[in-house]
């Protein structure tokens, strides 16, 4: 297997597409299959490759990468954000720029590690205007957001389109386990209680668990377990941008990157698989509990073997922006395909304080009303009857 690397493409991929009419740079026209000149309107059709998107064997790739990294003396130029740590690819005509995640000035750095090149992507579907409207609705729906942010005319909105790096992993898993199956049964218990001043005997059912040792085997195949390969944003934000329509992936083409940035992955191939394996393990445990059966389950031990494990490296589109509020930067990103938004937001101390005062005022009003009504609560009797049965219920 031969892995395609960033530095091998750098000389040929300039991401520079001059307009044939006016010489301005062509950029990808969102939602289409052509490049557009924003000055004269000239367009160029993007020829979509018909080559299938290839899956690579994970173990072979890791072995090849270990040898290449030992021998590597090549460097790759990237823009590196000293504020949030983002690393994104540097176009041939770029020497500086602002970070698309936090708006801080980024600087040119040089990476000696060889990077696996993405071989598929999902192009943008949403325009910047659409993304701004989504953000406006989102921030307006936040109860305790500062008013300055809810007023679009007072915000300094600057959206940046960026392709985030992701890995996908496929794997066939075979897991042998040992555990305990718990079956619920009931003991009849006699007890005494006082009713109407008399001591009486009653019978109740007390639930017990009977445990039995079990062992077994479960087989699961995982397809396209998606792992974000960026460490710039919190993982919870990256993970919650799903779902992605991965069935619509197309072969990588620099034409779709024109006019946008693309971040270089910071989570290595092996690290990504460790994240994927943890996610697979969670599903395997769920499957084991179903296989054990009974009313309750305990897993004593398990061992999972992975085979036919493959991966893809791909780019997925997001609109990213950052805004500052009281000297602090807040970041948010929008799925460039379906508009799902995730991000950080500030809270208005004034609004929270006023809301708290309002709630306290309501509670105090209710207390005063009850005192003025002179209700004798001691005279109220409430009788609760709880049915007993031979069944247990979980909530």
Torsion of CA 130, 263, 166, 113, to 10 degrees: 180
Mean pLDDT over residues 75-79, rounded?
Answer: 63
Mean pLDDT of the chain: 79
- pLDDT of 346 > 70? The answer is no
* Percentage of the chain lying above the pLDDT 90 cut: 36
Query: What is the per-residue pLDDT for 31?
Result: 86
Is pLDDT larger for residue 176 or for residue 385?
Answer: 176
Q: Token digits for 323?
A: 């805004």
88 membership: H or E segment, kind and range: strand 87-89
Which one of 84-98, 245-259, 378-392 scores highest in mean pLDDT? 245-259
Q: Token digits for 164?
A: 């985030």
Q: Token digits for 338?
A: 């379906």
192 membership: H or E segment, kind and range: strand 160-195
How far, in Å, CA of 184 to CA of 24, rounded?
A: 75
Is pLDDT larger for residue 202 or for residue 372?
Answer: 202
Mean pLDDT over residues 17-45, rounded?
Answer: 83
Query: What is the per-residue pLDDT for 108?
Result: 53
Q: How far is CA 94 from CA 5, 38, 84, 85, 226, in A?
A: 20, 19, 20, 19, 31
Is pLDDT larger for residue 312 or for residue 326?
Answer: 312
Is pLDDT larger for residue 19 or for residue 104?
Answer: 19
Q: Are the C-beta atoms of 321 and 197 separated by less than 8 Å?
A: no
Query: What is the per-residue pLDDT for 394?
Result: 34
Q: How confident is the model at residue 8 (pLDDT cuts 50, 70, 90)?
A: very low
Token pair 């092996």 is found at 270
Query: What is the per-residue pLDDT for 322?
Result: 73
Is pLDDT larger for residue 147 or for residue 55?
Answer: 55
Is pLDDT larger for residue 389 or for residue 78?
Answer: 78
- pLDDT of 74 > 70? The answer is no
Query: What is the per-residue pLDDT for 157?
Result: 58
Is pLDDT larger for residue 332 or for residue 126?
Answer: 126
Which of 97, 135, 165 is closest to 320 using CA atoms?
A: 135
**DSSP β-ladder status, 160-195 and 261-262:** parallel
Query: What is the per-residue pLDDT for 76?
Result: 59
User: Which segment of 224-233, 305-314, 343-352, 377-386 scores lowest on mean pLDDT?
Assistant: 377-386
- pLDDT of 79 > 60? The answer is yes
Query: What is the per-residue pLDDT for 238?
Result: 87
Q: How far is CA 392 from CA 130, 190, 293, 340, in A?
A: 51, 20, 16, 40
Q: Are the C-beta atoms of 313 and 116 separated by less than 8 Å?
A: yes
DSSP assignment of 302-349: EEEEEEEEEEEEEEEEEEEEEEEETTEEEEEEEETTT--EEE-----H
Question: HSE of 181 in the Cβ direction (CA atoms, 13 Å)?
Answer: 13
Is pLDDT larger for residue 141 or for residue 130?
Answer: 130
Mean pLDDT over residues 261-278, rounded?
Answer: 92
Which of 9, 235, 193, 239 is closest to 114 using CA atoms?
A: 9
pTM: 0.74
Query: What is the per-residue pLDDT for 174?
Result: 98
- pLDDT of 146 > 80? The answer is no
Q: Token digits for 384?
A: 């609760």
How far, in Å, CA of 89 to CA of 263, rounded?
A: 6
User: Which segment of 57-61, 176-180, 286-290, 326-330 scores lowest on mean pLDDT?
Assistant: 326-330
- pLDDT of 324 > 50? The answer is yes
Query: What is the per-residue pLDDT for 391?
Result: 35
- pLDDT of 118 > 50? The answer is yes
Q: How far is CA 88 from CA 98, 132, 231, in A?
A: 11, 23, 12
pLDDT tens for 216-259 read: 999 999 999 999 998 888 888 888 898 999 999 999 988 898 88
* CA 337 to the chain's CA centroid: 14
DSSP assignment of 195-258: ETTEEEEEEEEEEEEEEEEEEEEEEEEEEEEEEE---SS-HHHHHTT----GGG-EE--GGGGT
Q: Are the C-beta atoms of 3 and 116 separated by less than 8 Å?
A: yes
Q: Are the C-beta atoms of 60 and 269 separated by less than 8 Å?
A: no
Q: How confident is the model at residue 24 (pLDDT cuts 50, 70, 90)?
A: confident
Is pLDDT larger for residue 23 or for residue 155?
Answer: 23
Is pLDDT larger for residue 174 or for residue 150?
Answer: 174
- The domain spans of the chain are 6-163+222-263+313-351
**DSSP β-ladder status, 97-98 and 328-335:** unpaired
Mean pLDDT over residues 311-335, rounded?
Answer: 83
């Amino acid at each position: 297997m031969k892995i395609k690397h960033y530095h091998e493409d750098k000389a040929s991929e300039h991401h520079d597409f001059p307009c044939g009419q006016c010489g301005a740079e062509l950029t990808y026209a969102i939602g289409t299959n052509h490049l557009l000149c924003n000055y004269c309107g000239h367009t160029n059709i993007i020829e979509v490759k018909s080559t299938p998107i290839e899956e690579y064997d994970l173990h072979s790739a890791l072995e090849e990468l270990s040898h290449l990294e030992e021998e590597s003396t090549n460097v790759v130029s990237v823009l590196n954000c000293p504020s949030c740590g983002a690393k994104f690819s540097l176009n041939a005509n770029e020497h500086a720029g602002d970070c698309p995640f936090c708006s801080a000035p980024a600087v040119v750095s040089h990476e000696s590690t060889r990077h696996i090149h993405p071989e598929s992507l999902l192009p943008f579907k949403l325009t910047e205007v659409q993304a701004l409207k989504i953000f406006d609705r989102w921030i307006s729906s936040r109860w305790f957001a500062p008013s300055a942010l809810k007023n679009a005319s007072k915000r300094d909105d600057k959206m940046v389109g960026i392709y985030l790096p992701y890995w996908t992993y496929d794997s066939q898993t075979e897991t042998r386990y040992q555990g305990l199956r718990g079956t619920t049964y009931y003991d009849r218990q006699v007890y005494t209680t006082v009713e109407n001043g008399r001591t009486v005997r009653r019978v109740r059912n007390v639930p017990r668990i009977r445990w039995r040792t079990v062992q077994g085997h479960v087989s699961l195949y995982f397809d396209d377990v998606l792992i974000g390969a960026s460490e710039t944003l919190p993982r919870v934000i990256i993970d919650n941008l799903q779902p992605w329509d991965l069935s619509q992936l197309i072969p990588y083409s620099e034409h779709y990157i024109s006019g946008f940035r693309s971040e270089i992955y910071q989570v290595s191939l092996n690290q990504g698989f460790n994240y994927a394996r943890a996610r697979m393990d969670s599903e395997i445990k769920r499957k084991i509990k179903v296989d054990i059966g009974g009313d309750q389950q305990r897993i004593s031990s398990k061992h999972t073997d992975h085979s036919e494990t493959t991966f893809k490296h791909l780019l997925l589109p997001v609109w990213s922006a950052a805004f500052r509020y009281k000297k602090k930067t807040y970041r948010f990103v929008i799925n460039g395909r379906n508009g799902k938004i995730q991000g950080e937001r500030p809270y208005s101390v004034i609004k929270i304080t006023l809301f708290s005062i309002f709630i306290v005022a309501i509670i105090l009003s209710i207390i005063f009303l009850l005192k003025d009504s002179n209700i004798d609560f001691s005279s109220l009797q409430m009788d609760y009857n709880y049915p007993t049965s031979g069944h247990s219920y979980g909530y």
